[in-house]
Amino acid sequence: MAGLRKFTRIPPESTGDRIRVKSHTNIFYNSKVSDIIVGSTITLLQSGLSGTVSYLREDTVSTGMIAINWNELSENNETTVPVAGEAIQIDNGTVASVAASVANTDPYDTFANVNTLVSYDNHYYGQKVSEQGEAYVRFGEGPARVDAAGKLEIGQWTILAQYSFTYDIAPDEFGVITTGGGSIVHSSPENCALLSVTTAPTDKVTFRTHLFHHYTPGIPIIYEGTTTHSDAGKANQVRRWGLFDDQNGLFFELDGTDLNFVRRTFSTGTAVETKIPQSTWNRDTLDGSQNGTSNPSGESLDITNINSYWIDYTWHGAGIVRFGVFLDGKRILCHVQSFANKEVFSYMSRGSLPVNWEIENTGNTASTSEMRSWSCGVYASASFNIIDEGKTYTYFTPGPLAIPGTTETKFASVRPKDQISGIDNHNVVSFVKLNFMAYDNSANGTTSLAKVRLYLGGTLTGDTWNSGNPGSSLEVDTSGTYSNDGIQIAEYYVQGVEEIDLRTVTGYWYRSIQKQVDGSSPTYHFTVQKVSGVNNMNFDAQFRWKEIRG
């Protein structure tokens, strides 16, 4: 009768009532040529039995014993047993052989009672316990949410950024890079961002945030976003969505028709990708097989339907990466990968990453292709003010400046440096305070009423740029001539000695000072203009900013 490995009988053994048990088979091996790791999936080449290594005992460098937790198919096939001398394989490679049948080395089964906690309605639904003896706890909508640092999520998140494409493609937050017939538009009435390419072999479109979402050491980053595809993929094309730039990243990828999760790293000075195919995801392959081990949710992922994907990770150089999807109200974990004690260099050279969607043709394709998204968000798994955590820098203008008449005069321009120590500068900068004094230049010390403005962009000539402060991310120009033709984003009236709070101008992520996707750097200009007073005005200022580095 099938399923004998799942039961024992109350004495007498042959006729008593059945008690549910879980069996492991202990197999002695020899001729080991490669490492056998607990948790890996082994297959016995001749008998076809397959399961997970739950215990390993190494007697010598080439002999020992392994305990195998058989998969559902092998567990039901109790008439098939391991064959002496057959190959033990991992990932289609032979790692050892089943030891020859001699005294005390024959495979044998061990049984554990599993009737500890089961459902009243269905005794096949039992309590699961981890390899550390931890009971899995579930709620009505699925398992409790635990972040990549192993902490129970209880709602204390910080929003790093939220992007919605209801009205447009968020042009202030995103940059677009296209090649050939690649394009990105706002599509209505779906109200989404629509990426598309033609069949030409060089078409490419990249839709990326200017912001590299700051990773704070020890606090996991969480990405959630929607994506759908016009088809299930095609030859000579790669589609990517997630968190990535050209050097580092964690993202989903459709390579042809193969769905992967990819880790990209620049830790060796060259961008290197490690792909994890859907068939090898170690928590849920979402292939609809309903295999209790590889597809516990029983769900089948259809990428041509709109889906909400998620990624969370810690960095520290050696951290944990997890990814999955939301289906039927459940947050499904598809794969977990830890890099601690496994690699020489950091698993990415940077922990802060931008949101990105990308379609790239690598040759002629059979038809045009589209990818859509409606929104996404990036969060930190803790509650804190990231800007307040930044490092403060101060710049003093070379003053006092003599401001003639009522002429609007630039006293400082600032912009992000292109690089810091030879590394692309993706730090985020926010103005904090502007301190100033404005006085009549006569001897009586009468205060002057002045108007201070802040512009974004515009024409600057004769400029000379110097570091705003040693080690800072900004550079400053005080000698160039500004045409006052940029976008005015702030205006203040000041008199005598005052302080202005600038945090309402650039104290939000979407207004922060940062390098753009196309490599350009936005330039901000401070100007001053005398409003009243008989004589010319003496003006002096200092401004402070916060830098979020990483």
d(C-alpha 408, C-alpha 530), whole Å: 8
Contacts of 421 (CB under 8 A, 6+ apart): none
Write the DSSP string, 11-25.
SSTTTSPEEEEEEEE
Lowest mean pLDDT segment, chosen from 289-303, 322-336, 404-418, 503-517 = 503-517
Residue 414 has what pLDDT?
94
Contacts of 250 (CB under 8 A, 6+ apart): 242, 243, 244, 261, 262, 263, 264, 311, 313, 321, 323, 348, 353
Neighbours of 275 (CB within 10 A): 13
Grade residue 97 by pLDDT with cuts at 50, 70 and 90: very high
Specify the higher pLDDT residue, 248 or 535.
248
User: Considering the entire predicted model, what is its pTM?
Assistant: 0.75
Compute the mean pLDDT over every residue in the chain, rounded to the nearest whole number: 88
Is residue 510 pLDDT above 60, yes or no? Answer: no
pLDDT digits (tens, 9 = 90+) for 111-145: 777 656 667 677 667 777 765 566 777 665 556 66
The mean per-residue pLDDT over the stretch 533-549 comes to 86
CA-wise closest residue to 412 among 537, 505, 543, 547:
543
In percent, the amount of the chain with pLDDT more than 90 equals 58
Specify the higher pLDDT residue, 233 or 135.
233
Element (H, E) at 74: helix 72-76
Residue 443 has what pLDDT?
60
Residue 438 has what pLDDT?
86
d(C-alpha 320, C-alpha 270), whole Å: 22
User: Token digits for 446?
Assistant: 């009468």
Task: Identify the residue whose tokens are 């006085």.
Answer: 439
Mode of pairing for the β-strands spanning 41-44 and 369-373: unpaired
Residue 454 has what pLDDT?
92
Cis geometry, peptide bond prior to residue 143 (ω within 30 degrees of 0): no
Residue 71 has what pLDDT?
87
279, amino acid identity: S
The mean per-residue pLDDT over the stretch 320-337 comes to 92
Residue 440 has what pLDDT?
83
Specify the higher pLDDT residue, 394 or 143.
394
Specify the higher pLDDT residue, 502 or 181.
181
73, amino acid identity: L
Strands (E), 304-368: 307-313, 320-327, 330-338, 355-361
d(C-alpha 435, C-alpha 25), whole Å: 76
d(C-alpha 28, C-alpha 223), whole Å: 45
d(C-alpha 275, C-alpha 128), whole Å: 30
The mean per-residue pLDDT over the stretch 501-530 comes to 82
> What radius of gyration, in Å, describes the C-alpha atoms of the chain?
31
Domain 389-548 = CATH 2.60.120: yes
pLDDT digits (tens, 9 = 90+) for 442-456: 766 788 888 999 999
Write the DSSP string, 122-151.
-TT-B--B-TTSPBP-EETTEEPPB-TTSP
Beta bridge partners of 537: 403, 440
Assess contact for 253 and 240: CB atoms under 8 A: yes
Is residue 16 pLDDT above 70, yes or no? Answer: no
pLDDT digits (tens, 9 = 90+) for 347-356: 999 999 999 9
Contacts of 257 (CB under 8 A, 6+ apart): 232, 233, 234, 235
User: Token digits for 374?
Assistant: 């409606």
Assess contact for 516 and 428: CB atoms under 8 A: no
Assess contact for 67 and 54: CB atoms under 8 A: yes
Contacts of 118 (CB under 8 A, 6+ apart): 20, 124, 125, 126, 127
Contacts of 148 (CB under 8 A, 6+ apart): 220, 312, 313, 314, 319, 320, 321, 322, 381
SS3 state at 348: coil
539, amino acid identity: F
Residue 156 has what pLDDT?
76
d(C-alpha 95, C-alpha 89), whole Å: 6
The pair phi, psi for residue 103, each rounded to 5°, is: -55, 130
pLDDT digits (tens, 9 = 90+) for 235-274: 999 999 999 999 999 999 999 999 999 999 999 999 999 9
Is residue 381 pLDDT above 70, yes or no? Answer: yes
Task: Identify the residue whose tokens are 């290594």.
Answer: 53
Cα 367 from chain centre: 31
The pair phi, psi for residue 245, each rounded to 5°, is: -130, -160
Neighbours of 329 (CB within 10 A): 8
Residue 12 has what pLDDT?
61
Is residue 500 pLDDT above 50, yes or no? Answer: yes
d(C-alpha 375, C-alpha 113), whole Å: 48
d(C-alpha 367, C-alpha 356), whole Å: 23
d(C-alpha 129, C-alpha 141), whole Å: 19
Grade residue 319 by pLDDT with cuts at 50, 70 and 90: very high
Beta bridge partners of 145: none
CA-wise closest residue to 211 among 513, 421, 546:
513
Is residue 378 pLDDT above 90, yes or no? Answer: yes
CATH topology of domain 143-380: Jelly Rolls (2.60.120)
pLDDT digits (tens, 9 = 90+) for 441-493: 776 678 888 899 999 999 999 999 999 888 899 999 999 999 989 999 899 99
Is residue 2 pLDDT above 50, yes or no? Answer: no
Grade residue 15 by pLDDT with cuts at 50, 70 and 90: low
Task: Identify the residue whose tokens are 């390419």.
Answer: 197
Mode of pairing for the β-strands spanning 142-143 and 138-139: antiparallel
d(C-alpha 54, C-alpha 68), whole Å: 6
d(C-alpha 77, C-alpha 324), whole Å: 32
Q: Where are the alpha helices (DSSP H) in 322-422?
A: none
Is residue 103 pLDDT above 50, yes or no? Answer: yes
The one-character DSSP state at 506 is H
